[in-house]
Amino acid sequence: MAIQYIDIHTHKVSRFKNNFSIFNHRLKRFKQFIYPKSPFSFGIHPWDIKEASDINILDNIKNDSELYAIGECGFDKNINIPFSVQTDIFIKHIEMSEQFQIPLIIHSVGYFNEIMDFIKEHQPTQKWIIHGFMGHPRLANQLVEAGLILSFGKTIFDKDSKSKDSLISTPNDAFFLETDENTKIIDDIYLRAAEIKKMTVEEMQKVIFENFRRVFKSEKFNQN
């Protein structure tokens, strides 16, 4: 299957034949185990932790060939959940990522230093991806140096965006692109990212494709 655009984190099912999207499931939608037979990720979002009575729900899908990543999961300072509770859930996701041998997609609001501490402590064999990154280039560089991958989305369109500058400073082998819940299609995000990185869309497609093949260890499709 020839792929034009890869969207590693979205809450929308792609309408385009030659696009590859990883659909992220939230716990509320997943409790009855009804989901489209298409590439997906699943985890306990920090906002859903109060409902996460049994994270072992992941055991029911571990052999699904369409499960490409664990997450999104992580930390959020804007919710009324103790950091210790968020930590317990996050560690279980780390264990699942390692057990299933697939990447971890992370939601982080205000806890980047802690995530860097976790990756140093746990030394994962699977890549961790910070989705929807919008921080300063200095933070971006620190995260990449710690071994994390950054995923950029709609904020690269903002005129005074910090994430735009972070994308410029991020090495080509350390980032992905995503739509998340944004109304923009992944094609437009590729176009803007290519402009920012001063490359053609075709070059951007090759960069993301090679990153995907390496991080997700996927041989299911090619770029020809």
Q: What is the pLDDT of residues 166-180, one digit of tens each?
A: 999 999 999 999 999
Tell me how long the chain is.
224
What average pLDDT does range 135-162 have in this prediction? 96
Kindly report, residue by residue over 67-109, the tens digit of the pLDDT. 999 999 999 999 999 999 999 999 999 999 999 999 999 999 9
**What domain range is 196 assigned to?**
5-28+37-215
pLDDT band at 65 (very low <50, low <70, confident <90, very high): confident
Assigned domain for 141 exists: yes
* Residue 52 confidence (pLDDT) above 60: no
% the chain with pLDDT above 70: 85
Beta strands (DSSP E) in 34-154 are: 40-42, 67-76, 104-109, 128-130, 149-152
Question: Which CATH number characterizes residue 53's domain?
Answer: 3.20.20.140
Residue 102 in any domain: the answer is: yes
Q: Is residue 223 part of a domain?
A: no
3-state secondary structure (DSSP) of residue 8: strand
Whether 23 is covered by a domain: the verdict is yes
CA distance linking residue 107 with residue 132, whole number of Å: 8
Number of domains in the chain: 1
In a domain, 147, yes or no: yes
